[in-house]
Every structure is written in structure tokens, then in C-alpha cells.
Amino acid sequence: MKSKGSKGGRHWSLRGRLGLPAVILSCSFFFVAGFFSANLLSQNINIPKAGVTARQLQSVEEEGETVQLNLLTPGFTGDDFISVIPFQFLSWRPRALYFPKFATAEQCESIINLSKPHLRPSTVALRKGETRESTKGIRTSYGVFVSASEDKSEALDQIEEKIAKVTRLPRENGEPFNVLRYETGEKYDPHYDAFKASEFGPQKSTRVASFLLYLSDVEEGGETTFPYEDGFDYVRGHDSRPCNGFKIRPRQGDGLLFYSLFPNNTIDPTSLHGSCPVIRGEKWVATKWIRDQEYP
């Protein structure tokens, strides 16, 4: 009661000097400021450096109308902004998505320049009984493995982060990028990215998904192909020579994601894929294979 009375006395004396509206306004201001700073500190949230970014993404224009988006307080490892990463859903069999303009032309060029001096003939994983000689000609591109940490321009770091977001698979599960160059006539015959233990021996982990970032356009040929897309040809025993099937034409900066495994962790037969031979021009692509656990 005592404190109530004394608060009341101060309130009324302020009212006398400033007027009621000014008092209510300043009380509301301090309440709101106190509430938000306490909330932010207790959640250890980084206030975005460019506050505008967060605000801009709180609404989107859809068919001429402004639609408000709800920005929530994120968990410790979440984002305090809303991301918009456009994609086209390409297929259920295999589960494949296309991400137009996933990377910028500058990022692509910088990855090519970083990789170019280190290219070596690409190799394939060997099944029991296979040799380098017996598998010669299956994959004729040149390539190099590059980790995000080796790229001072940070392009690979930014792309790896973005891939983790769209796949919802942790960065730690990704193998280093395999940057590939195909010149005229070079190709990769249809194959699976996931290794069957019965063919390749016991594996520490399995490849769940593959993300291909096209680093260049190709004048002709060089499409990524899925000969068994939708299972139709698969059921009919379609042959899998390049280049039949559902084809994706490389375009600089675009990304292709597909899953090699079904949700029950068995290999999706329709994830068979390859690269058609380049007919004209040169193809550059960076592949990120993502495993079911931390790699290596």
C-alpha cells in the first residue's frame, strides 16, 4: 500500500508538469524498449547489421497484393530473417528440385578460376572385381575436390551454407565440392551416387543427396540426364546409354538437387543419372554429395 501510494504521488506530480498524454507516451516507450532489449539479450540474438534486410523480408508482393510474413524469434542456430530461395519441383521419382540463379556469375567464375589449375582426370568408385582399366571411358571429365575453407573468395562457403538450408542436411555431412570440367565429347555414364555395400563393400556412411551447381552454360549437349525418371523406362528395361531420359540443361548459376535414397534409406532406382557428352562448348559443374552422417 505504501509503495502504491508513493508511486501514485510521483505520477500525479509528473502529470502536473508534463501533462497526462506525455506521461503515458513516455511510459509506453520505456516499457516497449525494456521488453524488447530484455528479450533480445536473453535469447542472445544478433541484431541484423542492416536492419532494413529483416524488415524488407517481412512482407512479399503476391499477385499485386502485399502479404505479411510472420517473423518469429529463432532458435539458437536459426536465422533472424526470412529467406526466399526460389525453386521448381522437377520430379518425385527421383525427388529432384531445380534452383534457378542459386549462385551469381561472379561466384561461378571465381570457383572455375580456383579449380582450373588443379584439374586431373576424373575417377570412379570401383566395384569388387573392377579396375581402373575396366572402368576406363565411363567418366571422361577432369575434376578436383575443393573444400569451402580453401576458397579465399568465400564463394564456396556461401554456397555450401545455402545448400545446407535448401537440403535441410547439415554442412558437416557434405563431401568437399567436386568441380568438374567436360570438354567436347566428354561425359559421365549413368550411375548411382549411393554405393550398395553388396557391390562396393561396407561403407562408413551413405550418400543421401547430390547438389549440382552449374558453373557455366553449355552451347550444346552436356545435360544431366535421368534415364529412369518416373520409373516408366525403368520398368520396361530401357537401356541406360547416354543420353536418354529426362534431361536438365546446364545454365550458369543454377542448381539441381536430387535424393539418391528413399526416406527409408534404400536406394531410389530412379536416381540413376549421368552427364550427356558435350557436343559444343565446355561444361563446368560443382557437385556436392551429402551423406547420412558427418563426413569423413
Ligand X SMILES: O=C(O)CCC(=O)C(=O)O
Distances (CA, A) of 139 to 46, 128, 132, 180, 213: 46, 18, 11, 11, 18
User: Nearest approach, Cβ of 87 to ligand X (angstroms)?
Assistant: 18
Closest CA to 135 of 88, 54, 213, 191: 191
Distances (CA, A) of 280 to 220, 227, 230, 285: 5, 22, 29, 16
Give the three cell numbers for residue 154: 568465400
Number of H helices, E strands in the chain: 7, 16
Cβ proximity to ligand X, 45 vs 184, nearer residue: 184
Q: How many CB atoms lie within 10 A of CB 140?
A: 18
Cis before residue 276, ω within 30 degrees of 0? no
Cβ proximity to ligand X, 107 vs 287, nearer residue: 287
| Contact criterion met (CB below 8 Å) for 138 and 189 | yes
Cβ proximity to ligand X, 151 vs 193, nearer residue: 193
The CA distance from 278 to 174, in Å, is 27
The CA distance from 18 to 191, in Å, is 79
User: Nearest approach, Cβ of 50 to ligand X (angstroms)?
Assistant: 36
User: Nearest approach, Cβ of 96 to ligand X (angstroms)?
Assistant: 12
User: Nearest approach, Cβ of 122 to ligand X (angstroms)?
Assistant: 8
CA-based max dimension of the chain: 96
Q: Which residues are near ligand X by CB under 6 A?
A: 180, 188, 193, 210, 212, 224, 273-275, 285, 287
User: Nearest approach, Cβ of 198 to ligand X (angstroms)?
Assistant: 20
